[in-house]
Amino acid sequence: MLRNALNNLTVIDFTHVGAGPTCTMLMADMGARVIKVEPPDGELGRKLGPAWIGQDSALFHGFNRNKLGLSLDMKADGAVDLARRLVGKADVLVESMRPGVMQRLGLGYEALKELNPRLIYCSISAYGQEGPYADRAGVDGIMQADSGLMSIIGSEGAEPAKVQAPVVDVFTGYVAVMGILAQLRKAEATGFGAHLDVNLFGASIALQQVSLTNYLTDREVPEKIGSAAPYSAPNEAFETADGWLMLAAYNGGRWERLCDVLRLPELASDPRFATSSKRVANRRMMREILGARFRTESRDHWLSALLEADILCAPVATYDDLLLHPQLQANGMIMTLDHPELGQIRMPGFPINSREVNGMDHQPAPELGADTRSILASFGFEESEIDALVKKGAVGDRWAEPKSVAAVG
């Protein structure tokens, strides 16, 4: 069962905000024991709202389910030795510091592989571990801009736009999981781990597989064409009398059927629109003709007629629409977590075998330092050692100084 696929795998998580937490959350979803290590005031993602759930951002809850929480002050006496002790018994370490930070702490890959040769050490950074930009920080929006992705989003003449969901962050997390799981299989055969260099810049380039391959072939700069696909037509959104719909009618006889549905049979034999590539070349004219007809009837009217003709289509849904989508419930893609103090928390769930996996028990994101004592005890720390570490401020113990928790807002 996928929910238990990574049982007995221990992951030490030194990541913040988006890409790294996505990676470790996915492994936790599949059963890994993920120990989220945070500084005394918590990771940056806890503070990035609105929205808020209790004292922490909804973003933090959305990226950190199923993890255990350890509060660790790396500047305190004994903290680095504690971290090394954890890593010595771990399978995977994921970190998202700027290149060089972990090395200066004594927790770089070269130092830790001597301690644990099987360790898979995944570094997630903005631009990579080497090169002229390696020292630069970067976030999702910066990467959408610097990778060229932002240049192909939106419409000509409009201000620059980006994908509002942090698509580069999330995709980078999935890339990291792919690399870690592949390296785990190799480690089983060789007995040795590896250092994986995963970065937002590389992932954002990979997201543009089609558009960049096209550009490298003909050096034609992609147009900003809104909802349209640059390689096929019609494959775009049209306005109806009361809303927008998206359709794809460029192959499989669908163009001809679209012409029939729109009562424009003459377009099917028009040489300007005879093939998808000719329709791409004459897109503006095609849109004017089709658009005028779509605006004469309601969206529901056209969606019904298009579906009956087996033409790919969908409403351009809002989030309100999405929550009413019958397939969303059928797939079980919205997960509900029961928090002991904050009540129910809903979020997008795990996307593979989603109904089965998301219907099982999952744990909400950890309170800061919530599991410090139990984690250290599981790694062989005596109670007196833990008390000493708490007293020195090396670790934070949530239960030593309980904080008030606000109601779900």
Give catalytic residue positions.
Answer: 169
Distances (CA, A) of 325 to 238, 270, 321, 335, 363: 21, 38, 6, 15, 26
Amino acid at 158: A
Query: What is the DSSP-derived secondary structure letter of residue 322?
Result: H
Give the helix/strand (H/E) hosting 315: strand 312-315
What is the Cα–Cα distance from 112 to 109, expressed in whole angstroms? Answer: 5
CB 265 within 8 A of CB 278: no
Sheet containing strand 120-125, edge to edge, reads 194-199, 120-125, 92-95, 10-14, 33-38, 68-72, 395-396
- How far is Cα 265 from Cα 216, in angstroms, rounded to an integer? 38
Number of H helices, E strands in the chain: 18, 14
The tokens describing 81, both together, are 């030795």
Question: φ and ψ at 40, to 5 degrees?
Answer: -55, -30
- CB of 86 closer than 8 Å to CB of 35: yes
